[in-house]
Amino acid sequence: MDSPLAVIGLPIALGVIMFGLGLDLTPRDFARIGRRPKAVGVALACQLLLLPAVCFGLVLLFRLPPVLAVGMMLLAASPGGTTANLYSHLFRGDVALNISLTAINSVIAVLTLPVIVNLSIAWFQPGDLQVGLQLKKTIEVFMIVLAPVCLGMIVRGVRPGFARAMDRPVRIASIIILTLVIAGAAVSNLDVLKTSFLSLAGITVVFCGLSLAIGFVVPRLLRIGREQAIASAFEVGLHNATLAIVIAQSVLQVPDMSLPGAVYGVLMFPLAAIFGLLITRRRTAAATA
């Protein structure tokens, strides 16, 4: 784990992705939350409370080894990202709500992610890993998650023209980096992945499907508009797999723990597309009935 890829490359890769996210954000995105408090509150409750509980139940049900169990909980604790914004746009969700949720999630994750991961480590006890609520680890998560976002927002505020010009190149770079990070995590742990893929594929598919469904159904049951529910579904259902991989390999320095994020990162794209098509088809059928 002392390789340049793990120590330097992965944090820089995630930094580029989070910087690109910051280029899309303004203080208005945080202020907008006050105009949609119910939709925001419900989505955050689903993501911060329901999903960790659902993931914990799935980990016990699938009887994952301790390291992979903590890796799944790390994935569940990771916030959404720019992928959610893209899918929300494609399937006619409230993209502005997505942007607001991404903004607030990026801030909250600095606190909630270390707590969930440390509680998971205390429960599953993978080997002799002892992290605790260390200030150093929390600062590392802050620097990985929030600092690049803040830098991107500052650049947008000072040089809006440059931010607009860089938006497309950074998005393309983020997609390439995301693919490389997921592929690199899989290749570097190929032996373990071969023996664990089937169990990880099963739990990640179920977890992703439940996450998308919870993010959509719960808001609708609480009489939140369809566009906001679609935005919530993708924000709650599509986790930042890159963040989970980087924290597992660079912060916790347990490569095997990144495998759930790597498998999920590959499978979430087609699953989200299928989910989007299903809810779109259902809406079309209802409109023509």
Per-residue model confidence as pLDDT tens for the chain (289 residues): 444 454 556 666 667 777 776 777 777 766 766 777 888 899 999 999 999 999 999 999 999 989 899 999 999 998 876 678 778 878 888 877 877 787 788 778 778 888 888 888 888 876 655 544 455 555 665 676 677 878 888 888 888 888 878 777 776 776 676 667 666 656 665 665 666 677 788 999 999 999 999 999 999 999 999 989 999 999 999 988 878 887 887 777 787 888 898 888 878 888 988 999 998 876 655 544 4
> Which amino acid belongs to residue 41?
G
Distance in angstroms (rounded) separating the CA atoms of residues 147 and 118: 22
Tokens at 287, concatenated: 């409109």
Alpha helices, H only, the chain: 4, 10-23, 27-31, 37-45, 51-62, 66-77, 82-90, 95-124, 135-158, 160-188, 190-221, 226-237, 241-246, 259-288
Neighbouring residues of 184: CB distance < 8 A, sequence distance ≥ 6: 5
**Residue 209 confidence (pLDDT):** 95
Distance in angstroms (rounded) separating the CA atoms of residues 180 and 244: 14
Tokens at 228, concatenated: 């906001």
Dihedral sign for Cα 259, 265, 270, 272, please.
Answer: positive
**Residue 2 confidence (pLDDT):** 43
Rg (CA), the chain: 18
**Residue 132 confidence (pLDDT):** 45
This prediction has a pTM of: 0.76
- Using CA atoms of 202, 207, 208, 213 in order, give the dihedral in degrees to the nearest 10: 130
Distance in angstroms (rounded) separating the CA atoms of residues 208 and 212: 6
Question: Cβ atoms within 10 A of the Cβ of 286, count?
Answer: 8
Quick one: 231 exposed, middle or buried, by C-beta within 10 A (0-12, 13-18, 19+)?
A: buried
Alpha helices, H only, 125-189: 135-158, 160-188
> Which amino acid belongs to residue 77?
A
